[in-house]
Amino acid sequence: MNAGDLFDNPQSRAAMRHAELCRQIAAHDVAYHVNDAPDISDAAYDALRREVEEIEVQYPDLITPDSPTQRVGYSTKSTPFQKVVHSRPMLSLGNAFDDQDVRDFYGRVAKFLGVQPDDIVVMAEPKIDGLSCALRYEDGILVRAATRGDGVEGEDITANVLQIPDIPRQLKGTPPKVLEVRGEVYMRRADFQDLNMRQQAAGDKIFANPRNAAAGSLRQLDSRITALRPLRFFAYAVGDVSGAIATSQSGLRQALADFGFTISMPAQLCETVADTLAYYTEVMQNRPDLPFEVDGVVYKVNDMAWQDRLGSVGRAPRWAMAHKFPAEQAVTILRDIQIQVGRTGALTPVAILEPIAVGGVVVARATLHNEDEIARKDIRIGDHVMIERAGDVIPKITAVIMEKREPSSIPFVFPDHCPVCQSYAPRVEDEVVRRCAGGLVCAAQALERLRHFVSRDAFDIVGLGEKSLEEFWDRGLIRTPADIFTLQEQDKGSLTPLRSWPGWGPQSAQKLFASIDDRRNIALDRFIYALGIRQVGQVTAKRLAAYYRSYTAWSDAMIAGDDALQSIQDIGPAVAADITAFFAEPNNVALLTDLAGHLTIADHVMVARGDSPLSGKTIVFTGTLTLITRDEAKARAEKCGANVTGSVSRKTDYVVVGADAGSKRAKAIEFGVTLLSEEDFRDMSQSGTL
DNA sequence: TCCCCTCGAGTTCA
DNA sequence: CTCGAGGGGA
């Protein structure tokens, strides 16, 4: 080994980058907070912080007390509340709508753990309709409160939370050094009505429902106003905690109560699925009598060791689920059906409704999904339709009230041409969507592609929203993504520069140019995702980036037509064909080259758990696993930073061989890939911090 | 070949 | 958040 090797691994590279970023952020902080003279745009500052967070997610041992992520809050001027990065993300819950969904939940948990559904004990609690909130206690003292935000980053509402009577400022008993308590801030129904009466008397805003009232009260800039609002709090979970405070969910509830919190009632420990369903029915029946609004119940696997094993998929834990009460419904009139064109050319029908209040909000539009959906329900313009807010957010039409139909009404005819570019819009056999064939000539598609390009998960260009994008399009300034990066040059020579446009000024123009410049450095996976290749979303883009590592390696391989595509996880013939088709179009290749000329595309940083021998490795499972289930094995491997793929290729590092392994094992031997037994895998996935 | 699961794409309102 | 469809295990 020579000295070069020490630095030529992902972890040491990440460590060096991390240190550099921390230095930069500290310098910017001084400029911003101390000298009151920011030397960098908010967006660029956020990007630096984001990069630090990403590195720390991969290499937790780089997190030090003086890391910028560990400091309380930081400012962006976009909101008056300081942003707070949650120490661990606040997840959302999967939803069940009927008994079968609940049985399926038990089935999934049982299958993952390799136990029987009857073995699973579940803690059931009411799901209060309020706002999730995280309270951080250090040495028993409340030091910070944050809203859930997007789950990763929330807003600092400490001052307001201190005004809520059942949130203790100081914990009782002997709490751990650090304890983050999570729960729901809500308002009782009676308190809500009183508040509205007072608001009305004072000529102030009336709230639509207790939830909105709680939200409005919590986001007051003046905490003296919050103090006048009758807010309450139920504790139901913990986030960051030093040491363990319970081994079960029921124990956790008890511990929280002992620390001085109110815990949600009525709750019940359920031994069987039947108990769980009975609890659901009971809460639903008592719903009108409960003093607060409840939109369902929550089930949590009681055993916390099992919770840990189950982990989470995406943004939802596998060990918990919400069982929702039936959605509120309402009847209104369907005024029109509009056809929207998406970035892939998909024609999507949208219902334009006579505005009506459902579940506390006024609904005026609803998606109709597709042509078949309209035909299946025989939805016609002018019909009275039943709408509901599914999962409490997105409104949908559930049925047509046939008795109220006008005899003169006619079935809706779905157009077979694009409403924007008039191109033919064929429906591929066996597919549900109709797609505008206009492709590159369709303005609607081009605009949607641009919108995708600048969206948060892609280039994240702030200040270039839908409206301004459309404006630039209309004036012919932005027609392709590359145009975004020449905007400032174009503007310089223009007779009507941006700063002279209505609604724009020198400041906003400068700000936009700055935020575009901030994105001239971009991670490879974001870049690939931004291109908007059919069927290539965030996950697939990341897989491509991880496989090819650099922009040049990727684009060269794509232009040459790499057969290896299909050996990448999640990429089969259909997805590979779409990627190949994208590169077969000369316009796309030209665009790509043009675009790349304006950018610095960073090589992919391996997602790796530094201290695990599996980190950064590509691993394939084959045969029947006997020690743990396949799902669990896969989750564990990924937790260690491994890339789990489906088929063996020369790039595979390990093949874990279970019982009765067949062709993959043979292939592994042929390629000289290291074979691991299940026991080997267990040992390797255990070493390293989990 | 079938079925389950994950991913992609499209969407509402405050 | 929901639905459709591709991938891949069985």
Distance in angstroms (rounded) separating the CA atoms of residues A629 and A112: 6
Cβ burial of A320 (10 Å; 0-12, 13-18, 19+) is buried
pLDDT digits (tens, 9 = 90+) for A621-668: 777 666 666 667 777 777 777 777 666 666 677 888 776 666 667 777
- Provide the CA A134 distance to its chain's centre, in angstroms: 18
Distance A569 CA to C7 C1' (A): 8
Instruction: Give the nucleotide with minimal C1' distance to the Cα of A570.
Output: C7
Q: To 10 degrees, the CA torsion angle through A301, A170, A187, A75?
A: -90
* pLDDT band for position A6 (cuts 50, 70, 90): very low
pLDDT digits (tens, 9 = 90+) for A86-97: 777 787 787 777
Active-site residue, A127 included: yes
% pLDDT > 90, chain A:
18
% pLDDT > 70, chain A:
85
Q: Annotated catalytic residue: which of A127, A396, A617, A664?
A: A127
pLDDT at A424 over 70: yes
Q: Scan for tokens 């575009």, then name that residue.
A: A516
Mean pLDDT on A371-376:
83
Instruction: Give the nucleotide with minimal C1' distance to the Cα of A324.
Output: C1
A537 contact to strand B (CB, 7 A limit): yes
- Provide the CA A257 distance to its chain's centre, in angstroms: 31
Secondary structure class of A408 (helix, strand, coil): coil
Distance A96 CA to C9 C1' (A): 25
The residue lying closest to nucleotide C3, measuring its CA against C1', is A369
Strand C, nucleotides covered by protein (CB < 7 Å): 1-10
Residues 6+ apart with CB under 8 A from A228: none
pLDDT at A7 over 50: no
Would you call the peptide bond into A80 cis, given omega within 30 degrees of 0 as the criterion? no
Within A59-157, residue ranges assigned H as helices are: 99-113
A343 contact to strand B (CB, 7 A limit): yes
Mean pLDDT on A209-222:
82
List the structure tokens of A524: 């490879």
List the structure tokens of A74: 């930081």
Secondary structure class of A493 (helix, strand, coil): coil
List the structure tokens of A58: 């991969």
A356 contact to strand B (CB, 7 A limit): no
A362 contact to strand B (CB, 7 A limit): yes
Residue A155 is predicted with a pLDDT of: 82
- Of A451, A441, A435, nearest to A345 by C-alpha is A435
Residue A79 is predicted with a pLDDT of: 45
Distance in angstroms (rounded) separating the CA atoms of residues A238 and A143: 15
Distance in angstroms (rounded) separating the CA atoms of residues A602 and A596: 11
pLDDT digits (tens, 9 = 90+) for A275-300: 999 999 999 888 888 899 888 899 99
Residue A605 is predicted with a pLDDT of: 75
The residue lying closest to nucleotide C8, measuring its CA against C1', is A646
Distance A571 CA to B8 C1' (A): 13
pLDDT at A397 over 80: yes
Mean pLDDT on A134-150:
88
List, in sequence order, every residue forming a beta bridge with A675; answer none if it has no partner.
A655
pLDDT digits (tens, 9 = 90+) for A554-581: 999 888 887 788 888 788 888 888 898 8
Residue A689 is predicted with a pLDDT of: 38
**For residues A453 and A530, is the Cβ–Cβ distance under 8 A?**
yes
A313 contact to strand B (CB, 7 A limit): yes
Distance A654 CA to B14 C1' (A): 50
Distance A334 CA to B12 C1' (A): 16
Distance A322 CA to C9 C1' (A): 29
Q: To 10 degrees, the CA torsion angle through A210, A214, A220, A225?
A: 80
A615 contact to strand B (CB, 7 A limit): no
Instruction: Give the nucleotide with minimal C1' distance to the Cα of A569.
Output: C7
Distance in angstroms (rounded) separating the CA atoms of residues A195 and A187: 10
Distance A681 CA to B3 C1' (A): 28
Residue A5 is predicted with a pLDDT of: 43
| pTM to 2 decimal places | 0.62
* pLDDT band for position A60 (cuts 50, 70, 90): low
Instruction: Give the nucleotide with minimal C1' distance to the Cα of A571.
Output: C7
List the structure tokens of A418: 């694009």
Instruction: Give the nucleotide with minimal C1' distance to the Cα of A357.
Output: B13
* pLDDT band for position A76 (cuts 50, 70, 90): very low
Mean pLDDT on A380-407:
82
Mean pLDDT on A99-104:
82
**Residues of A 102-121 whose CB lies less than 7 Å from any atom of strand B:** 108, 111
Phi/psi at A80 (5° precision): -75, -20
**Could you tell me which residue, A578 or A112, shows the higher pLDDT?**
A578
For chain A, the distance separating the N- and C-terminal CA atoms, rounded to the nearest angstrom, is 29
* pLDDT band for position A66 (cuts 50, 70, 90): low
pLDDT digits (tens, 9 = 90+) for A177-186: 999 999 999 9
Per DSSP bridges, beta strands A384-390 and A394-400 are: antiparallel
Distance in angstroms (rounded) separating the CA atoms of residues A310 and A112: 7
pLDDT at A149 over 60: yes
pLDDT at A123 over 60: yes
Near-strand C residues (CB closer than 7 A): A 92-93, 95, 97, 369-370, 372-373, 390-394, 396, 430-433, 535, 566, 569-576, 624, 630, 645-647
Instruction: Give the nucleotide with minimal C1' distance to the Cα of A535.
Output: B8
* pLDDT band for position A78 (cuts 50, 70, 90): very low
Distance A120 CA to C10 C1' (A): 26
List, in sequence order, every residue forming a beta bridge with A481; answer none if it has no partner.
none
What is the average pLDDT score of chain A? Answer: 81
pLDDT at A55 over 80: no
A570 contact to strand B (CB, 7 A limit): yes
Mean pLDDT on A576-603:
90
Instruction: Give the nucleotide with minimal C1' distance to the Cα of A622.
Output: C9
* pLDDT band for position A603 (cuts 50, 70, 90): confident
* pLDDT band for position A104 (cuts 50, 70, 90): confident
Residue A2 is predicted with a pLDDT of: 41
Secondary structure class of A372 (helix, strand, coil): helix
Residue A129 is predicted with a pLDDT of: 84
Distance A429 CA to B1 C1' (A): 20
Residue A105 is predicted with a pLDDT of: 85
